[in-house]
Chain A
Amino acid sequence: MNLFYFIAFLSILFALLVIFSKNPVHSVLYLILTFFTFTIHYVLLNAQFLAIVNFIVYMGAIMVLFLFVIMLLNLNKDTEPVKSSLVKFAGIIGGACLLVVIVAAVKALGKSDPVILKQADLGLVKNLGKILFGQFLLPFEVSSLLLFSAMVGAVLLATKDKPVKA
Protein backbone atom coordinates (compact mmCIF):
# COMPACT_ATOMS: atom_id res chain seq x y z
CA MET A 1 0.00 0.00 0.00
CA ASN A 2 2.88 2.36 0.74
CA LEU A 3 4.24 1.66 -2.70
CA PHE A 4 0.86 2.62 -4.14
CA TYR A 5 0.90 5.96 -2.35
CA PHE A 6 4.42 6.67 -3.52
CA ILE A 7 3.56 5.90 -7.15
CA ALA A 8 0.32 7.84 -6.92
CA PHE A 9 2.27 10.81 -5.57
CA LEU A 10 4.66 10.54 -8.52
CA SER A 11 1.74 10.35 -10.98
CA ILE A 12 0.23 13.52 -9.64
CA LEU A 13 3.58 15.27 -9.41
CA PHE A 14 4.47 14.51 -13.03
CA ALA A 15 0.93 15.39 -14.17
CA LEU A 16 1.30 18.79 -12.49
CA LEU A 17 4.72 19.27 -14.08
CA VAL A 18 3.12 18.62 -17.49
CA ILE A 19 0.92 21.65 -16.91
CA PHE A 20 3.44 23.89 -15.27
CA SER A 21 6.53 23.43 -17.42
CA LYS A 22 7.08 26.31 -19.83
CA ASN A 23 8.66 24.27 -22.60
CA PRO A 24 6.23 22.07 -24.58
CA VAL A 25 8.89 19.39 -25.14
CA HIS A 26 9.45 19.17 -21.38
CA SER A 27 5.68 18.88 -20.96
CA VAL A 28 5.58 15.90 -23.29
CA LEU A 29 8.50 14.26 -21.49
CA TYR A 30 6.70 14.67 -18.14
CA LEU A 31 3.59 13.21 -19.75
CA ILE A 32 5.66 10.17 -20.74
CA LEU A 33 6.78 9.82 -17.12
CA THR A 34 3.16 10.09 -16.01
CA PHE A 35 2.22 7.24 -18.32
CA PHE A 36 5.13 5.25 -16.96
CA THR A 37 3.76 5.59 -13.44
CA PHE A 38 0.39 4.37 -14.78
CA THR A 39 2.19 1.29 -16.07
CA ILE A 40 3.49 0.67 -12.55
CA HIS A 41 -0.05 1.05 -11.21
CA TYR A 42 -1.24 -1.66 -13.60
CA VAL A 43 1.59 -3.94 -12.53
CA LEU A 44 0.63 -3.39 -8.88
CA LEU A 45 -2.93 -4.46 -9.79
CA ASN A 46 -1.48 -7.61 -11.41
CA ALA A 47 -2.79 -6.50 -14.81
CA GLN A 48 0.38 -7.43 -16.71
CA PHE A 49 -1.11 -7.29 -20.17
CA LEU A 50 -2.70 -3.90 -19.68
CA ALA A 51 0.55 -2.64 -18.16
CA ILE A 52 2.68 -3.69 -21.08
CA VAL A 53 0.15 -2.51 -23.66
CA ASN A 54 -0.04 0.86 -21.94
CA PHE A 55 3.75 0.88 -22.09
CA ILE A 56 3.92 0.02 -25.79
CA VAL A 57 0.98 2.00 -27.12
CA TYR A 58 1.02 5.14 -24.99
CA MET A 59 4.68 5.50 -24.10
CA GLY A 60 6.16 3.84 -27.16
CA ALA A 61 3.92 5.03 -29.96
CA ILE A 62 1.51 7.83 -29.16
CA MET A 63 3.93 9.91 -27.13
CA VAL A 64 6.62 9.46 -29.77
CA LEU A 65 4.19 11.04 -32.23
CA PHE A 66 3.43 13.87 -29.78
CA LEU A 67 7.13 14.50 -29.33
CA PHE A 68 7.64 14.23 -33.07
CA VAL A 69 5.08 16.88 -33.89
CA ILE A 70 6.17 19.26 -31.15
CA MET A 71 9.83 18.96 -32.10
CA LEU A 72 8.95 19.53 -35.73
CA LEU A 73 6.94 22.66 -34.94
CA ASN A 74 9.74 23.78 -32.61
CA LEU A 75 7.39 25.69 -30.33
CA ASN A 76 8.98 28.10 -27.91
CA LYS A 77 8.31 31.35 -26.15
CA ASP A 78 9.04 33.55 -29.15
CA THR A 79 6.50 31.85 -31.37
CA GLU A 80 3.79 31.63 -28.74
CA PRO A 81 0.79 33.71 -29.82
CA VAL A 82 -0.02 36.62 -27.53
CA LYS A 83 -3.34 35.97 -25.86
CA SER A 84 -5.63 38.88 -25.15
CA SER A 85 -6.72 39.47 -21.57
CA LEU A 86 -10.30 38.66 -22.56
CA VAL A 87 -9.27 35.10 -23.47
CA LYS A 88 -7.35 34.80 -20.19
CA PHE A 89 -10.38 36.03 -18.24
CA ALA A 90 -12.68 33.57 -20.02
CA GLY A 91 -10.17 30.84 -19.27
CA ILE A 92 -10.15 31.64 -15.57
CA ILE A 93 -13.95 31.57 -15.37
CA GLY A 94 -14.14 28.32 -17.37
CA GLY A 95 -11.50 26.68 -15.21
CA ALA A 96 -13.23 27.78 -12.01
CA CYS A 97 -16.55 26.36 -13.23
CA LEU A 98 -14.86 23.05 -14.03
CA LEU A 99 -13.29 23.02 -10.57
CA VAL A 100 -16.71 23.51 -8.94
CA VAL A 101 -18.19 20.67 -10.99
CA ILE A 102 -15.33 18.33 -10.15
CA VAL A 103 -15.43 19.14 -6.43
CA ALA A 104 -19.20 18.61 -6.42
CA ALA A 105 -18.80 15.31 -8.24
CA VAL A 106 -16.13 14.11 -5.81
CA LYS A 107 -18.24 15.16 -2.83
CA ALA A 108 -21.27 13.32 -4.20
CA LEU A 109 -19.28 10.09 -4.28
CA GLY A 110 -19.50 7.84 -1.27
CA LYS A 111 -16.34 7.22 0.65
CA SER A 112 -14.63 4.67 -1.53
CA ASP A 113 -14.04 1.19 -0.24
CA PRO A 114 -10.55 -0.14 -0.68
CA VAL A 115 -10.52 -2.00 -3.95
CA ILE A 116 -10.34 -5.74 -3.55
CA LEU A 117 -9.59 -7.71 -6.66
CA LYS A 118 -12.20 -10.39 -7.05
CA GLN A 119 -10.12 -12.39 -9.48
CA ALA A 120 -6.47 -11.61 -8.86
CA ASP A 121 -5.28 -13.09 -12.16
CA LEU A 122 -7.94 -11.48 -14.33
CA GLY A 123 -5.34 -9.24 -15.95
CA LEU A 124 -3.21 -12.07 -17.33
CA VAL A 125 -3.18 -12.38 -21.09
CA LYS A 126 -5.02 -15.71 -21.22
CA ASN A 127 -7.97 -14.67 -19.06
CA LEU A 128 -8.25 -11.25 -20.63
CA GLY A 129 -8.21 -12.73 -24.12
CA LYS A 130 -10.91 -15.27 -23.24
CA ILE A 131 -13.15 -12.54 -21.87
CA LEU A 132 -12.51 -10.09 -24.71
CA PHE A 133 -13.10 -12.63 -27.46
CA GLY A 134 -15.95 -14.42 -25.68
CA GLN A 135 -18.16 -12.35 -23.45
CA PHE A 136 -17.30 -8.97 -24.98
CA LEU A 137 -16.73 -10.00 -28.58
CA LEU A 138 -19.29 -7.65 -30.12
CA PRO A 139 -18.20 -4.44 -28.32
CA PHE A 140 -14.58 -5.35 -29.02
CA GLU A 141 -15.16 -5.74 -32.74
CA VAL A 142 -17.35 -2.64 -32.91
CA SER A 143 -14.67 -0.54 -31.25
CA SER A 144 -12.09 -1.88 -33.68
CA LEU A 145 -14.38 -0.86 -36.56
CA LEU A 146 -14.65 2.57 -34.99
CA LEU A 147 -10.86 2.91 -34.91
CA PHE A 148 -10.64 1.64 -38.46
CA SER A 149 -13.13 4.19 -39.76
CA ALA A 150 -11.26 6.94 -37.92
CA MET A 151 -8.06 5.80 -39.63
CA VAL A 152 -9.69 5.79 -43.07
CA GLY A 153 -11.04 9.27 -42.38
CA ALA A 154 -7.60 10.54 -41.39
CA VAL A 155 -6.04 9.13 -44.55
CA LEU A 156 -8.82 10.67 -46.63
CA LEU A 157 -8.26 14.09 -45.04
CA ALA A 158 -4.51 13.83 -45.53
CA THR A 159 -4.76 13.03 -49.23
CA LYS A 160 -7.56 15.46 -50.02
CA ASP A 161 -5.59 18.09 -51.87
CA LYS A 162 -3.09 15.88 -53.61
CA PRO A 163 -1.40 17.61 -56.54
CA VAL A 164 -2.57 16.23 -59.86
CA LYS A 165 0.16 14.26 -61.56
CA ALA A 166 1.15 15.62 -64.91
Chain B
Amino acid sequence: MELSLVIEKFILVAIIFGISLVVAMYSTYAERKVAAFFQDRVGPNRAGPLGILQPLADGAKMFMKEEIIPTRASGLLFIVGPSLAILTACIGTAVIPWGQQIVIGSNLIDLQVTDINVGVLYLFGVVSLGVYGVMIGGWASNNKYSLLGAIRAASQNISYEIAMGLSIIALLMITGTLSLREITEQQHGFWAHGYFTWNFFKQPVGFILFMVCAFAETNRTPFDLPECETELVGGYHTEYSSMKLGFYLFAEYINMFVSSAVMATLYFGGYNYPYMDAVNNALGGTWGPLFGVGVLFLKIVLFIFFFMWVRWTIPRFRYDQLMDLGWKILIPLAIANIVLTGLVSTFLK
Protein backbone atom coordinates (compact mmCIF):
# COMPACT_ATOMS: atom_id res chain seq x y z
CA MET B 1 0.00 0.00 0.00
CA GLU B 2 1.33 3.38 -0.96
CA LEU B 3 2.06 5.91 1.69
CA SER B 4 0.03 8.61 -0.07
CA LEU B 5 -3.07 6.41 0.06
CA VAL B 6 -2.56 5.80 3.76
CA ILE B 7 -2.20 9.51 4.42
CA GLU B 8 -5.24 10.29 2.26
CA LYS B 9 -7.40 7.78 4.11
CA PHE B 10 -6.07 8.90 7.46
CA ILE B 11 -7.06 12.49 6.75
CA LEU B 12 -10.47 11.35 5.52
CA VAL B 13 -11.04 9.26 8.64
CA ALA B 14 -10.01 12.17 10.85
CA ILE B 15 -12.37 14.54 9.05
CA ILE B 16 -15.32 12.12 9.17
CA PHE B 17 -14.64 11.36 12.82
CA GLY B 18 -14.49 15.06 13.65
CA ILE B 19 -17.64 15.82 11.70
CA SER B 20 -19.62 13.03 13.33
CA LEU B 21 -18.54 14.20 16.77
CA VAL B 22 -19.46 17.80 16.03
CA VAL B 23 -22.81 16.77 14.53
CA ALA B 24 -23.52 14.62 17.57
CA MET B 25 -22.49 17.47 19.88
CA TYR B 26 -24.78 19.93 18.20
CA SER B 27 -27.55 17.31 18.04
CA THR B 28 -27.74 17.52 21.82
CA TYR B 29 -28.19 21.28 21.50
CA ALA B 30 -30.68 20.86 18.64
CA GLU B 31 -32.61 18.28 20.63
CA ARG B 32 -33.15 20.74 23.46
CA LYS B 33 -34.03 23.57 21.09
CA VAL B 34 -36.47 21.36 19.17
CA ALA B 35 -38.01 20.16 22.41
CA ALA B 36 -38.37 23.75 23.52
CA PHE B 37 -40.00 24.63 20.21
CA PHE B 38 -42.51 21.79 20.49
CA GLN B 39 -43.32 22.67 24.07
CA ASP B 40 -43.51 26.41 23.45
CA ARG B 41 -40.47 27.21 25.60
CA VAL B 42 -37.25 29.10 24.86
CA GLY B 43 -34.69 26.35 25.48
CA PRO B 44 -31.01 26.83 26.36
CA ASN B 45 -30.07 30.45 25.60
CA ARG B 46 -27.47 31.48 28.21
CA ALA B 47 -24.13 30.07 27.00
CA GLY B 48 -23.14 32.26 24.09
CA PRO B 49 -25.49 33.87 21.56
CA LEU B 50 -28.69 31.77 21.27
CA GLY B 51 -27.08 29.26 23.64
CA ILE B 52 -24.75 28.10 20.86
CA LEU B 53 -21.95 27.21 23.30
CA GLN B 54 -24.24 25.02 25.39
CA PRO B 55 -22.75 21.68 24.14
CA LEU B 56 -19.25 22.86 25.14
CA ALA B 57 -20.52 23.79 28.60
CA ASP B 58 -22.21 20.40 28.89
CA GLY B 59 -19.03 18.65 27.79
CA ALA B 60 -16.95 20.55 30.35
CA LYS B 61 -19.49 19.66 33.02
CA MET B 62 -19.34 15.97 32.10
CA PHE B 63 -15.55 15.93 32.32
CA MET B 64 -15.39 17.80 35.62
CA LYS B 65 -17.97 15.74 37.47
CA GLU B 66 -16.88 13.22 40.05
CA GLU B 67 -16.34 9.78 38.70
CA ILE B 68 -18.05 7.07 40.72
CA ILE B 69 -17.53 3.36 40.22
CA PRO B 70 -19.81 1.34 42.50
CA THR B 71 -17.85 -0.89 44.88
CA ARG B 72 -19.53 -4.10 43.80
CA ALA B 73 -19.40 -3.33 40.09
CA SER B 74 -17.00 -5.42 38.03
CA GLY B 75 -14.29 -2.84 37.49
CA LEU B 76 -12.93 -3.41 34.00
CA LEU B 77 -16.24 -4.26 32.35
CA PHE B 78 -17.78 -1.16 33.89
CA ILE B 79 -15.32 0.87 31.82
CA VAL B 80 -15.51 -1.37 28.74
CA GLY B 81 -19.29 -0.81 28.46
CA PRO B 82 -19.35 2.89 27.50
CA SER B 83 -16.10 2.54 25.51
CA LEU B 84 -17.68 -0.17 23.38
CA ALA B 85 -20.84 1.88 22.96
CA ILE B 86 -18.95 4.85 21.54
CA LEU B 87 -16.62 2.66 19.46
CA THR B 88 -19.42 0.80 17.68
CA ALA B 89 -21.22 4.09 17.14
CA CYS B 90 -18.18 5.59 15.39
CA ILE B 91 -17.06 2.77 13.08
CA GLY B 92 -20.30 2.70 11.09
CA THR B 93 -19.30 5.77 9.07
CA ALA B 94 -16.42 3.94 7.38
CA VAL B 95 -18.45 2.53 4.47
CA ILE B 96 -20.76 5.44 3.78
CA PRO B 97 -19.99 7.24 0.50
CA TRP B 98 -20.01 10.92 1.41
CA GLY B 99 -19.67 12.27 -2.11
CA GLN B 100 -18.57 11.70 -5.67
CA GLN B 101 -14.88 11.52 -6.49
CA ILE B 102 -13.42 14.91 -5.85
CA VAL B 103 -10.55 16.66 -7.62
CA ILE B 104 -8.03 18.26 -5.28
CA GLY B 105 -5.01 19.71 -7.08
CA SER B 106 -4.31 16.97 -9.62
CA ASN B 107 -5.52 14.04 -7.51
CA LEU B 108 -8.83 12.22 -7.70
CA ILE B 109 -9.98 11.39 -4.19
CA ASP B 110 -12.75 9.03 -3.08
CA LEU B 111 -14.97 10.54 -0.42
CA GLN B 112 -15.46 7.14 1.19
CA VAL B 113 -13.09 5.45 3.60
CA THR B 114 -13.50 1.99 2.11
CA ASP B 115 -15.74 0.52 -0.55
CA ILE B 116 -15.91 -3.10 0.59
CA ASN B 117 -18.26 -5.21 -1.51
CA VAL B 118 -20.26 -6.24 1.55
CA GLY B 119 -20.85 -2.66 2.73
CA VAL B 120 -24.50 -3.09 3.67
CA LEU B 121 -23.72 -6.21 5.67
CA TYR B 122 -20.87 -4.42 7.42
CA LEU B 123 -23.28 -1.74 8.59
CA PHE B 124 -25.61 -4.45 9.75
CA GLY B 125 -22.81 -6.10 11.68
CA VAL B 126 -21.89 -2.83 13.37
CA VAL B 127 -25.52 -2.33 14.36
CA SER B 128 -25.73 -5.81 15.83
CA LEU B 129 -22.55 -5.19 17.78
CA GLY B 130 -23.93 -1.95 19.25
CA VAL B 131 -25.96 -3.74 21.87
CA TYR B 132 -22.87 -5.10 23.65
CA GLY B 133 -21.96 -1.71 25.08
CA VAL B 134 -25.35 -1.45 26.70
CA MET B 135 -25.42 -5.07 27.87
CA ILE B 136 -21.94 -5.12 29.35
CA GLY B 137 -22.41 -1.77 31.05
CA GLY B 138 -25.79 -2.75 32.45
CA TRP B 139 -24.53 -6.04 33.79
CA ALA B 140 -21.27 -4.66 35.20
CA SER B 141 -23.15 -2.02 37.23
CA ASN B 142 -24.45 -4.77 39.53
CA ASN B 143 -27.79 -3.05 39.83
CA LYS B 144 -31.09 -4.72 39.08
CA TYR B 145 -32.49 -1.74 37.19
CA SER B 146 -29.37 -1.57 35.02
CA LEU B 147 -29.59 -5.29 34.38
CA LEU B 148 -33.26 -5.05 33.41
CA GLY B 149 -32.42 -2.18 31.06
CA ALA B 150 -29.59 -4.20 29.52
CA ILE B 151 -31.79 -7.24 29.01
CA ARG B 152 -34.50 -5.13 27.46
CA ALA B 153 -31.95 -3.59 25.12
CA ALA B 154 -30.74 -7.04 24.06
CA SER B 155 -34.16 -8.46 23.31
CA GLN B 156 -35.27 -5.29 21.57
CA ASN B 157 -32.19 -5.15 19.36
CA ILE B 158 -32.41 -8.80 18.36
CA SER B 159 -36.12 -8.52 17.54
CA TYR B 160 -35.79 -5.42 15.40
CA GLU B 161 -32.61 -6.56 13.67
CA ILE B 162 -34.62 -9.29 11.98
CA ALA B 163 -37.17 -6.90 10.56
CA MET B 164 -34.36 -4.52 9.56
CA GLY B 165 -32.48 -7.28 7.73
CA LEU B 166 -35.63 -8.38 5.93
CA SER B 167 -36.41 -4.82 4.84
CA ILE B 168 -32.87 -4.46 3.46
CA ILE B 169 -33.21 -7.75 1.54
CA ALA B 170 -36.09 -6.30 -0.47
CA LEU B 171 -33.88 -3.29 -1.29
CA LEU B 172 -30.98 -5.52 -2.31
CA MET B 173 -33.26 -7.44 -4.67
CA ILE B 174 -33.63 -4.19 -6.62
CA THR B 175 -30.07 -2.91 -6.42
CA GLY B 176 -28.37 -6.27 -6.95
CA THR B 177 -25.27 -5.17 -5.04
CA LEU B 178 -24.10 -4.86 -1.45
CA SER B 179 -21.66 -2.04 -2.14
CA LEU B 180 -22.95 1.28 -0.83
CA ARG B 181 -21.04 3.18 -3.51
CA GLU B 182 -22.82 1.27 -6.29
CA ILE B 183 -26.20 1.62 -4.58
CA THR B 184 -25.69 5.36 -4.47
CA GLU B 185 -24.49 5.57 -8.07
CA GLN B 186 -27.64 3.73 -9.18
CA GLN B 187 -29.68 6.57 -7.72
CA HIS B 188 -27.89 9.17 -9.87
CA GLY B 189 -29.86 12.34 -10.40
CA PHE B 190 -33.52 12.15 -9.59
CA TRP B 191 -35.40 11.02 -12.69
CA ALA B 192 -34.32 8.49 -15.32
CA HIS B 193 -36.03 6.07 -17.72
CA GLY B 194 -39.47 7.44 -16.89
CA TYR B 195 -39.27 6.86 -13.13
CA PHE B 196 -37.63 8.23 -9.99
CA THR B 197 -34.14 6.92 -9.42
CA TRP B 198 -34.19 7.17 -5.63
CA ASN B 199 -34.85 3.88 -3.92
CA PHE B 200 -37.50 5.40 -1.68
CA PHE B 201 -39.88 5.49 -4.65
CA LYS B 202 -39.15 1.86 -5.45
CA GLN B 203 -39.27 0.60 -1.86
CA PRO B 204 -41.61 2.85 0.16
CA VAL B 205 -42.72 0.06 2.50
CA GLY B 206 -39.14 -1.11 2.91
CA PHE B 207 -38.06 2.40 3.85
CA ILE B 208 -40.76 2.78 6.50
CA LEU B 209 -39.85 -0.61 7.98
CA PHE B 210 -36.17 0.30 7.95
CA MET B 211 -36.84 3.63 9.61
CA VAL B 212 -38.95 2.12 12.39
CA CYS B 213 -36.21 -0.43 13.02
CA ALA B 214 -33.59 2.32 13.00
CA PHE B 215 -35.52 4.09 15.76
CA ALA B 216 -35.55 0.86 17.74
CA GLU B 217 -31.85 0.13 17.16
CA THR B 218 -30.78 3.60 18.28
CA ASN B 219 -32.99 3.31 21.39
CA ARG B 220 -34.84 6.49 20.53
CA THR B 221 -38.36 7.28 21.68
CA PRO B 222 -40.86 5.64 21.20
CA PHE B 223 -38.55 2.65 21.61
CA ASP B 224 -36.34 3.85 24.47
CA LEU B 225 -37.49 1.10 26.81
CA PRO B 226 -33.91 0.23 27.93
CA GLU B 227 -33.69 3.61 29.69
CA CYS B 228 -37.33 3.99 30.59
CA GLU B 229 -37.06 6.25 33.63
CA THR B 230 -40.59 5.69 34.92
CA GLU B 231 -39.91 2.00 35.41
CA LEU B 232 -36.14 1.56 35.57
CA VAL B 233 -34.78 4.74 37.22
CA GLY B 234 -32.27 5.35 34.40
CA GLY B 235 -32.10 1.96 32.73
CA TYR B 236 -28.71 0.58 31.82
CA HIS B 237 -26.84 3.77 32.75
CA THR B 238 -28.35 4.21 36.21
CA GLU B 239 -24.99 3.74 37.95
CA TYR B 240 -22.94 5.79 35.51
CA SER B 241 -21.70 9.26 36.18
CA SER B 242 -19.31 11.76 34.66
CA MET B 243 -17.94 11.20 31.16
CA LYS B 244 -18.88 7.50 31.11
CA LEU B 245 -22.51 8.56 31.22
CA GLY B 246 -21.58 11.19 28.66
CA PHE B 247 -20.26 8.50 26.33
CA TYR B 248 -23.51 6.56 26.53
CA LEU B 249 -25.59 9.63 25.79
CA PHE B 250 -23.18 10.72 23.09
CA ALA B 251 -23.20 7.29 21.45
CA GLU B 252 -26.94 7.61 21.01
CA TYR B 253 -26.50 10.85 19.07
CA ILE B 254 -23.72 9.44 16.92
CA ASN B 255 -25.91 6.42 16.21
CA MET B 256 -28.65 8.79 15.19
CA PHE B 257 -26.27 10.57 12.82
CA VAL B 258 -25.02 7.32 11.30
CA SER B 259 -28.49 5.86 10.84
CA SER B 260 -29.67 9.11 9.27
CA ALA B 261 -26.72 8.92 6.87
CA VAL B 262 -27.55 5.28 6.08
CA MET B 263 -31.20 6.05 5.43
CA ALA B 264 -30.26 8.98 3.20
CA THR B 265 -27.76 6.82 1.30
CA LEU B 266 -29.87 3.70 0.88
CA TYR B 267 -33.26 5.23 0.17
CA PHE B 268 -32.90 8.95 -0.58
CA GLY B 269 -30.12 9.03 -3.11
CA GLY B 270 -27.19 9.90 -0.82
CA TYR B 271 -25.28 12.75 -2.44
CA ASN B 272 -27.51 12.73 -5.53
CA TYR B 273 -29.96 15.52 -6.25
CA PRO B 274 -32.04 16.72 -9.23
CA TYR B 275 -30.08 18.40 -12.05
CA MET B 276 -26.80 17.36 -10.45
CA ASP B 277 -25.02 16.94 -13.79
CA ALA B 278 -25.71 20.55 -14.76
CA VAL B 279 -24.58 21.77 -11.36
CA ASN B 280 -21.45 19.61 -11.52
CA ASN B 281 -20.57 21.01 -14.93
CA ALA B 282 -21.06 24.57 -13.74
CA LEU B 283 -19.08 24.19 -10.50
CA GLY B 284 -16.24 21.96 -11.72
CA GLY B 285 -14.57 18.91 -10.24
CA THR B 286 -13.88 20.27 -6.78
CA TRP B 287 -16.90 22.31 -5.83
CA GLY B 288 -19.48 20.15 -7.61
CA PRO B 289 -18.90 17.03 -5.48
CA LEU B 290 -18.60 19.24 -2.39
CA PHE B 291 -22.05 20.61 -3.18
CA GLY B 292 -23.22 16.97 -3.30
CA VAL B 293 -21.74 16.41 0.16
CA GLY B 294 -23.68 19.45 1.33
CA VAL B 295 -26.88 17.96 -0.10
CA LEU B 296 -26.22 14.68 1.72
CA PHE B 297 -25.70 16.56 4.97
CA LEU B 298 -28.93 18.48 4.38
CA LYS B 299 -30.76 15.15 4.08
CA ILE B 300 -29.03 13.88 7.23
CA VAL B 301 -30.04 16.98 9.17
CA LEU B 302 -33.63 16.56 8.03
CA PHE B 303 -33.61 12.96 9.24
CA ILE B 304 -32.11 13.97 12.59
CA PHE B 305 -34.84 16.58 12.91
CA PHE B 306 -37.37 13.87 12.16
CA PHE B 307 -35.90 11.70 14.93
CA MET B 308 -36.37 14.60 17.35
CA TRP B 309 -39.81 15.45 16.05
CA VAL B 310 -40.95 11.90 16.76
CA ARG B 311 -39.35 11.93 20.18
CA TRP B 312 -41.36 14.93 21.31
CA THR B 313 -44.58 13.79 19.66
CA ILE B 314 -45.08 10.08 20.29
CA PRO B 315 -45.13 8.61 23.81
CA ARG B 316 -43.15 5.51 24.71
CA PHE B 317 -44.55 2.06 23.97
CA ARG B 318 -45.30 -0.48 26.63
CA TYR B 319 -42.90 -3.41 26.52
CA ASP B 320 -45.36 -6.02 25.24
CA GLN B 321 -46.56 -3.56 22.58
CA LEU B 322 -42.96 -3.15 21.47
CA MET B 323 -42.50 -6.89 21.05
CA ASP B 324 -45.87 -7.28 19.32
CA LEU B 325 -44.99 -4.53 16.87
CA GLY B 326 -41.63 -6.10 16.10
CA TRP B 327 -42.64 -9.72 15.72
CA LYS B 328 -46.27 -9.63 14.66
CA ILE B 329 -46.40 -6.56 12.44
CA LEU B 330 -42.98 -5.54 11.13
CA ILE B 331 -41.60 -9.00 10.30
CA PRO B 332 -44.72 -10.23 8.40
CA LEU B 333 -44.87 -6.88 6.58
CA ALA B 334 -41.19 -7.16 5.65
CA ILE B 335 -41.69 -10.70 4.31
CA ALA B 336 -44.74 -9.59 2.33
CA ASN B 337 -42.63 -6.75 0.95
CA ILE B 338 -39.95 -9.21 -0.19
CA VAL B 339 -42.53 -11.40 -1.94
CA LEU B 340 -44.13 -8.38 -3.59
CA THR B 341 -40.76 -7.05 -4.72
CA GLY B 342 -39.91 -10.45 -6.16
CA LEU B 343 -43.20 -10.68 -8.06
CA VAL B 344 -42.96 -7.13 -9.41
CA SER B 345 -39.35 -7.44 -10.51
CA THR B 346 -40.08 -10.81 -12.17
CA PHE B 347 -43.17 -9.78 -14.11
CA LEU B 348 -42.32 -6.19 -15.00
CA LYS B 349 -38.89 -6.86 -16.50
Contact = CB atoms under 8 A, between A and B. Distances in A.
A51 B168 CA distance: 19
A16 interface: no
Given A52-B118, A71-B135, A124-B117, A61 B125 contact: no
Interface in A1-41: 23, 25, 29, 32
11 contacts: A29-B77, A29-B136, A49-B118, A49-B121, A52-B118, A59-B129, A60-B124, A60-B125, A61-B158, A64-B158, A71-B139
B225 interface: no
A125 B161 contact: no
Contact of A125 (B74, B118, B155): B118
A67 B154 contact: yes
A48 B81 CA distance: 28
Given A29-B136, A48-B116, A64-B135, A71 B121 contact: no
Contact of A53 (B117, B121, B161): B121
Contact of B125 (A25, A56, A124): A56
B135 A67 contact: yes
Interface in A98-150: 124-125
B136 A61 contact: no
Interface residues of B, number: 26
A71 B147 contact: yes
A125 B178 contact: yes
Contacts of B77: 29
B96 interface: no
Interface in B120-152: 121-122, 124-125, 127-129, 131-132, 135-136, 139, 147, 150-151
A71 B151 CA distance: 8
Given A67-B154, A68-B155, A71-B150, A59 B139 contact: no
A56 B136 CA distance: 18
Given A67-B135, A71-B139, A59 B128 contact: yes
Interface string A65-89: 1011001101000000000000000
B151 A68 contact: yes
Contacts of B54: none
B272 interface: no
B184 interface: no
A60 B129 contact: yes
- The 3 lowest CB-CB distance pairs between A and B, nearest first, are A60-B128, A55-B125, A52-B121
Given A48-B118, A71-B135, A71-B139, A56 B124 contact: yes
A56 B164 CA distance: 13
A52 B154 CA distance: 20
B157 interface: yes
Contact of A52 (B122, B135, B158): B122
Nearest to A121: B117
Given A48-B116, A71-B147, A64 B122 contact: no
A65 B158 CA distance: 8
Interface in B156-212: 157-158, 161, 178
B117 A48 contact: yes
Given A29-B77, A67-B132, 12 more contacts: A32-B132, A49-B118, A52-B118, A52-B121, A55-B129, A60-B128, A60-B129, A61-B128, A64-B132, A64-B154, A68-B151, A124-B117
A138 to B, nearest CB: 21
Max chain B C-beta neighbours (<10 A), residue from A53, A71, A74? A71
B151 A25 contact: no
Interface string B210-243: 0000000000000000000000000000000000
B247 to A, nearest CB: 19
B125 A68 contact: no
B225 to A, nearest CB: 15
Contacts of B124: 52, 56, 60
A124 B129 CA distance: 22
Contacts of A48: 116-118
Nearest to B127: A60
Given A25-B139, A56-B121, A60-B125, A68 B132 contact: no
A52 B125 contact: yes
B194 to A, nearest CB: 29
A147 B231 CA distance: 37
Nearest to B121: A52
